[in-house]
Structure 1
Amino acid sequence: MKLTGVVCLTFAACQAAAREDEQVVFASSENAVAPLSVAIIGAGAGGASTAYHLSKFAAASGFAVNITVFERNDYIGGRSTTVDVYDDLTSPVELGASIFVKANHILESAFNLSTRSMVSGTSEIPGASLGVFDGIAFAFVQETNSLTWWESAKALWKWGLAPIRCNALRKTTVDRFDKMYDEPQFPFASLTQVVTDVDLLDATSATGENYISENGLTGSFGHDVIQASTRLRHINGLLAMVCMSTDGAKSVENGNWQIFDEMLARSNATTQLSTEVSSVTPGKDSTYLLRHGPSADSPDLTNHEDTSFDVVVLAAPHQFANITLDHHIAHIPEKIPYVQLHVTLLTSPHLLSPAFFNMPPGKPAPKTILTTLPPNEEPQQGAAGVGTPGFFSVSLLRPVTNPKTGVQEYLYKIFSPEPPNSTFLTHLLGLKQPHHHTERGISEEDISWIYRKVWDSYPYEVSRVTFEEIQLDENLYYTSGMDGFISTMETNALMGMNVARLIADRWQAKMAKGTVRGGMEAPTLLPSEGVM
């Protein structure tokens, strides 16, 4: 029974990757059909998964496909991205999506296709593995990565059967979601319909607080554990449950973005980085014209061009993509509110101060600290929702070596609604001597490197019973509608796989009817050829 708060889900396994030599060979014919041309806008989890699975489904279905992925950033991975500690290219750290779990089979399978290594832990550093802090004291402390029998006994003594009931509710809820991966639900053309069909409306239409209370999870357990695990996300009942699924949490050494890089490499797609799509316009015969060129921060802004594609997949939130969708397109995605989160990465030779957490002198603070509100403090909206603790979480990620001094230091990540100021950091690290401070903050002796980022990191998962359309128009698809339902690396990869299957099934049906390319006959497979 794990009580940490990381977002994940249990998903169906994906198959082995398609290789270039698995392409179907077609007989020569006057009516031979050109490969299906597909544009994918965005090289994050949704876009990479669409490309990867579409190449597999195309090979299995017996048609050729040419995939082009446009990414306005100069990197692959979307919100799963890294920055370099000490500005050293050999020492990246996750800035965004940090972990996936054993149950995330799409990501797990993609990882297993590569030779990547897992990030090492912090077991040699003193301090408990996890603590839940309410701004006054620790409501819960877990000494190791897994609960010991003694900790389990203490948990049962403190919360009664609530942890067991929570686990049962989590399993029931996630098992319903898991049905979305199998026939007859998969592939699903409507997110709203499939949520109804798998009986998840009760979870998505209630707030996390109401959902757990309606299912008998009341009292201090909801405050001490569930609130700490979920309050970053402003969530509905479904996500409240999947936040509690953390078995086998892991991350890839040098960045989880490598999973999506591997997917794109296996798809044989043409990936154009630092390339921005500015508009999508309907063309002839249900095709689309994409206007694209160098990104706004690129030195070359003159080389823009128009390219026609049979199918377009928008695999990025439309409200942030800066793409004009022609007004003739049947459906334009709605805007949804996103959480604006401050991420602070820093290195320091100091461990977290026990005094900051009102701990006895000499007792090391936990290495990962989540926060909850103190008793009798009501949750508030926006940045004020952080309450008395003043931050959402702080994590000691790993020991590092300062390249300038050769001294061992510690790498920290802080999530907060506002950027931590020098006063907060001084108390957090237990810095007491005034001469350590400068007009700009804290000296390099105490904080040798710091990186700050504020971004619209993920959506508020509000209660709702209807969800964004998957198909915006004929041959135009949208994977980021999943964000209004559940936004994780794995769920976006799921939607990418789902869209890929919808595209493949539609194209295969048109081939079978001989209606491909405005009535051309479908190609004839050579008798001895097929998918290997």
Structure 2
Amino acid sequence: MLLSLPVLLGILISPANSQLLFPVNSAQTPFEAPLRDCSGKAGRRWNVARPPRVAIVGAGAGGSSAAYFLRHFGDLKGAGLETEVTVYDQSDYVGGRATVIWPWNDDPFTSPRNTSDFPVELGASIFVSANRNLQKARKVFDLAEDAYGGEEGGMAIWDGERFVLEEEKLGWSWWQKAKLIWRYGRSPFTVRSLVQKTVADFVSLYSLEFVSRGAFTSVSNFTAITGLQEPASLHADEFFGKQGVADLFTNEIISAATQVNYGTPIHRLHGVGALVSLAATGAVSVRGGNRQIFENFVGRSGARLRLGDNARVQSILKLDAPRSGRAQWVVRTVSGVGSGTYDAVILAAPFHQTGIQMVNSLAPSRIPKQPYVPLYVSFIMTNASAPQASYFGLPDKTVMPVEIFGTFTTSSSSKPTFNSLNYLRALSPEASARLGEGTFHIVKMFSDRPLEADMLDDLFGQGNVAKMVVKRWLAYPKLEPVTKEDDFAPVRPDEGLYYPNSFERLISTMETATVSSFNAVSLLLNDFFGYVPPTSWAEWDNV
């Protein structure tokens, strides 16, 4: 998740501390109506003297944590769960969609020397107290925590014509809160109850009683036992309407949250995506970059790490299993360097974005094509202390907010020109001096198209923008409603092949990537050794 709507949702929603998350679940859990399992076979138990060789494709949150979890289980005394792991990633860094930037620097991807300015998140920016894997990892790896936020100032929601909601610079007074209740009625309280219940259900899934029942192969089965089938099957506006939430609140508040968290208005994503967006309060990050968590996952896993374009996986060939053994997999890189034969593959990247040719496997037919939302993340270096009031049709002396979120679902005839704007912080005098006169600020903006220079001049004032750095991400899946089981990819699309990214179709966050990888690792260990973890890693003692 790239940005939160912290102040407003903290006032109106106040969920139980957090963004949604989910742990592993049992494929053997009874259901009122069992769903068809389209996954591949588990294969024979491991009966070879050497440890199984595992290839992990992708070194983001999912792949890096999978390598660490395999090492964790391999280190259990007397368990016999050792594996030999190799991690591949075509990027030259570990972290995937979690990485940092120094946008004021000549080379924004290289840390400047002798600077007191920390980098800013280019990709996934936040996690919260209930994200137990990430919180535990931060503590185990002794990484400093920063409260996520921006410069002091007001916040507003903009529909392209007017601010439909605005926070005063000094905060939310009792009178402002009363006006909000007058405007939205009981809708904030209805939504708060929905979010609190869902978060509480998910947090309970970390328990020993739940996790010890084993891993699951079907995300459809997961939604069936967590009560997510209905919100996952409906567009968010329809789902909240059925719960009695007023259209005004949905179109102004919930839509702003889904637009900034998933780049999608409420009538284009499912209800689970909206619930996740509304639960993104209490945000924190790792000082110096969240990717340090994932670097530590890989670094402490003991896995072989192959990075860069030469390590890009070109093809994966399945070798049919002999009568008394298991299928093997040949992983080939574009350069041939690092190619090898493995007993299992964890594909921890969106399959259809990888360009990998899968040979002699039914996996491609079992992994539905998943479109992703393109998002432009722009960093503007400006000496304007706030946006220009004139850009929003306001008098010049108006005290302007420094956080602005766009909502695209009101009756406004003009739509916002960006999804969000956030003044992150002022640069140090040394960094500012390199850009021009005055104090420069880092402003982070999201949009669905590149921002034009003329628009930035109007927004910040002629000549007030010294530099802009832009990154286009395929940031998150398009979370259209899930109406049939085959909308989800199986966790095990073929024998010895595991696909933790199947969960992104339901929820896409850093935390859920680590938990889905734990589920994939649990499934692999059950297939190879008949082992079922007694608890989630987050609840494991003395780790």
TM-score w.r.t. structure 2 length?
A: 0.79
Q: Say whether 1:507 aligns with 2:528.
A: yes
Shift of 1:116: 2.5
Of 147, 168, 171, which residue of structure 1 is paired with 2:193?
168
Q: 1:126 to 1:470 in 2, by over 3 A?
A: closer
Q: Which residue of 2 aligns with 1:21?
A: none
Gaps of 5+ in 1: 14-30, 294-300, 379-386, 437-445, 512-530
Match of 2:441 in 1: 410
**How many residue pairs are counted as aligned between the two chains?**
465
Alpha-carbon distance in 2 for matches of 1:137, 1:157: 19
Show the counterpart of 1:142.
167
Q: Deviations over 1:34-89 (max 9, x none)?
A: 12211100000110121122222333333212111111100111111222222351
**Which of 405, 418, 422 lines up with 1:391 in the alignment?**
418
Matches within 5 A, 1:276-291: 276-283=312-319, 284=321, 285-291=326-332
Q: Which residue of 2 aligns with 1:346?
A: 380
Deviations 1:421-470 (A, max 9, x none): 12210111032xxxx4xxxxxxxxx2222112223211110001421111
Cα pair 1:57 1:501 within 8 Å, conserved: no
Q: For residues 229 and 113 of structure 1, do their structure 2 counterparts lie closer, same or farther at Cα, with a shift above 3 Å needed?
A: same
Deviates more, 1:206-215 or 1:106-115: 106-115
**Residues 1:74 and 1:48: Cα distance change in structure 2 (over 3 Å):** same
Q: Give yes or no for the alignment of 1:79 onto 2:84.
A: no
**Equivalent residue, structure 2, for 1:429:** 460
The CA distance in 2 between the partners of 1:145 and 1:317, in whole Å, is 44
Q: Residues 510, 219 of structure 1: CA spacing in aligned structure 2 closer, same or farther, 3 A cutoff?
A: closer
**SS of residue paired to 1:33:** coil
Percent sequence identity over matched residues? Answer: 30
Separation in 2, partners of 1:252, 1:51: 21
The equivalences for 1:436-447 within 5 A come to 436=463, 446-447=464-465
1:51-450 equivalences in 2 (<5 Å): 51-60=67-76, 61-85=79-103, 86=105, 87=107, 89-90=111-112, 91-119=118-146, 125=151, 127-128=153-154, 130-143=155-168, 149-178=174-203, 180-182=205-207, 183=210, 186-231=214-259, 232-233=263-264, 234-274=268-308, 275-283=311-319, 284=321, 285-293=326-334, 301=335, 303-304=336-337, 306-332=339-365, 333-350=367-384, 351-373=386-408, 375-377=410-412, 388-400=415-427, 401-402=431-432, 404=434, 405=436, 407-431=438-462, 436=463, 446-450=464-468
CA distance in 2, matches of 1:460, 1:452: 22
Q: Return the offset for 1:99.
A: 1.2
Q: CA deviation at 1:239?
A: 1.3
2:220 partner SS: helix
Shift of 1:135: 1.6
Shift of 1:331: 4.8
Paired amino acid for 1:89:
S
Q: Name the aligned partner's letter for residue 263 of structure 1.
A: F
Partner of 1:33: 49
TM-score (norm 1): 0.80
Q: Deviations over 1:228-259 (max 9, x none)?
A: 11132342011111211123201222221111
Distance apart, 1:355 and its partner CA = 2.2
Task: Give the whole-Å Cα distance in 2 for the aligned partners of 1:267 and 1:290.
Answer: 20
Aligned residue in 1 for 2:20: 9
SS in 2 for 1:313: strand
Structure 2 runs not aligned, ≥5 long: 1-5, 25-46, 113-117, 533-541
Shift of 1:134: 1.3
SS of the aligned residue for 1:451 comes to strand
For residues 55 and 146 of structure 1, the distance between their equivalents in structure 2, rounded to whole angstroms, comes to 47
CA distance in 2, matches of 1:73, 1:252: 21
Q: CA deviation at 1:12?
A: 6.0
Question: What is the Cα-based RMSD across aligned positions, in Å?
Answer: 2.8
Cα separation, 1, equivalents of 2:498 and 2:21: 25
Question: What CA distance in whole angstroms lies between the structure 2 residues aligned with 1:239 and 1:126?
Answer: 29
Match of 1:474 among 495, 499, 502: 495
| Per-residue CA distance 1:311-362 (angstroms, 9 max, x = gap) | 1000000111121111334554221121112221121111311222334433
Change (3 A) 1:11 1:481: closer
Cα distance in 2 between the residues matched to 1:154 and 1:329: 57
How far did 1:213 drift?
0.5
| CA distance 1:510–1:177, change in 2 (3 Å) | closer
Q: What secondary structure does 1:335 align onto? A: coil
What amino acid maps onto 1:8 in structure 2? Q
2:160–2:412 CA contact under 8 A, matched in 1: no
Separation in 2, partners of 1:145, 1:166? 26
Aligned partners of 2:19 and 2:199 also within 8 Å = no
Whole-angstrom distance in 1 between the partners of 2:291 and 2:170: 25
Change in CA separation of 1:119 and 1:330 when aligned onto 2, cut-off 3 Å: closer
